[in-house]
Amino acid sequence: MSSDQQETTTTVDGSGTTTMRATTAATTTTTTFSSQRLRINPNNEHRPESYEDLKLDFPSAVYSSLEKYLPQQILVSTRDDKVKFMTDIMLRHLPHGERSRAQRHSVYRQKIITNYQPLHKELYTLAPMQCFVPSFIKAINESSEKSFRSIISEPSPGVFVFDMLQPSFCEMMLAEVENFEKWVGETKFRIMRPNTMNKYGAVLDDFGLDSMLDKLMESFIRPMTKVFFSDVGGATLDSHHGFVVEYGKDRDLDLGFHVDDSEVTLNVCLGNQFVGGELFFRGTRCERHVNTTTKPDEIYDYSHVPGQAVLHRGRHRHGARATTSGHRVNMLLWCRSSVFRELKSHQKEFSSWCGECFCEKKEEKGRALDALRQKLVKAVSAPQA
């Protein structure tokens, strides 16, 4: 047994959790104050507007998904009115601490966006041909399990590996990340790091890449997660936390054993030259079973290749070994589903995707079968009256 299996699994929380909670609040808010009431039954005929071009307090996808719940008089009003109405409701339904945190974060983000000069503006809009390798684009265009399987390997259950990014795109992203760090150093601006475990790296959403990453999730990742991760809300991913992490000398060394605050995580290596840094996977677990032992067939180690992506459930326990030399930068996209989180909060049954729940369920079935068998044997062998 390797030492990482005995450690307690940490749940890594990102600084983007406000986004997630806001999403949850939005979907569960069906009744509210009398002056600001949403429809209980959504208007499914309504085609929502796009809010991607606006700087908003919450992710643009949340506005689009909430729109069909708007009362008729707001629904026919201007986009600005709709934004104001929905923002008011979301802010009102967040607990006070959370609300001021959301507002502070919005001010923080605005400060970066107005002061930071992007190095490669073309990164900020998603141009598939410049960004992805042709095999990936082809598979997404066909969008079938067969086409995905033709470019993906699944070296361990629930871990999907495929070539995704063009080398030139990786280079541009690396240069942009370097530019972030340079700007942070020069301006002494205190940025929030990606999560509670990484001391280096940056939140891409805070640097203006949020709508690009929204597009990446909606048009390129969700078609795949819909097929491979439907059991954890893969079809309904609606918000994300996007960031880069940096490993090596003067950066983070390794990353302890943990689970992500996501339904599905996309992890792409951007480069550059490095030794070590392997990802180790140790089985998927629900909250109740997060610290249970690893089964031999759940042990899998993956070595990063620049441009290559790994897709896995957030609850798939993992960590990163030390990057012993060079400099490694990875881009991560934690994809979340407010629908899945809402449903999960009501669920008392076994989780279909947890390795331990699966075993417990099997054992329970076995016990029930044994009991039935014994009952039958007893009935048959009982002396006849």
Residues that bind Zn ion (CB under 5 A): 286, 289, 354, 356-357
Give the residue with the Cβ less far from Zn ion, 261 or 356: 356
What sign does the CA torsion over 297, 143, 54, 246 have?
A: positive
Give the residue with the Cβ less far from Zn ion, 109 or 317: 317
User: In whole angstroms, how close is the CB of 24 to Zn ion at the nearest point?
Assistant: 22
Give the residue with the Cβ less far from Zn ion, 41 or 347: 347
What is the number of other CB atoms lying within 10 angstroms of the CB of residue 336? 29
Strands 159-163 and 153-156: antiparallel
Quote the tokens at residue 143. Answer: 């969008």
Residue type, 350: F
User: In whole angstroms, how close is the CB of 287 to Zn ion at the nearest point?
Assistant: 8
Give the residue with the Cβ less far from Zn ion, 264 or 354: 354
User: In whole angstroms, how close is the CB of 237 to Zn ion at the nearest point?
Assistant: 22
Q: Which residues of 29-49 are buried (b: 16+ CB within 10 A; e: fewer)?
A: beeeeeeeebeeeeeeeeebe
User: In whole angstroms, how close is the CB of 282 to Zn ion at the nearest point?
Assistant: 14
User: In whole angstroms, how close is the CB of 285 to Zn ion at the nearest point?
Assistant: 6
User: In whole angstroms, how close is the CB of 360 to Zn ion at the nearest point?
Assistant: 7
DSSP notation for 4-42: GGTSPPEEE-BTTHHHHHHHHHHHH-----TTS---SS-
Tell me how far apart the alpha carbons of residues 63 and 25 are, in angstroms, rounded to a whole number: 12
User: In whole angstroms, how close is the CB of 166 to Zn ion at the nearest point?
Assistant: 39
Give the residue with the Cβ less far from Zn ion, 269 or 357: 357
Tell me how far apart the alpha carbons of residues 189 and 117 are, in angstroms, rounded to a whole number: 14
Tell me how far apart the alpha carbons of residues 294 and 266 are, in angstroms, rounded to a whole number: 23
Give the residue with the Cβ less far from Zn ion, 289 or 341: 289
Residue with tokens 């979340």: 336
Residues 193, 245: contact at Cβ < 8 Å? no
Give the residue with the Cβ less far from Zn ion, 194 or 355: 355
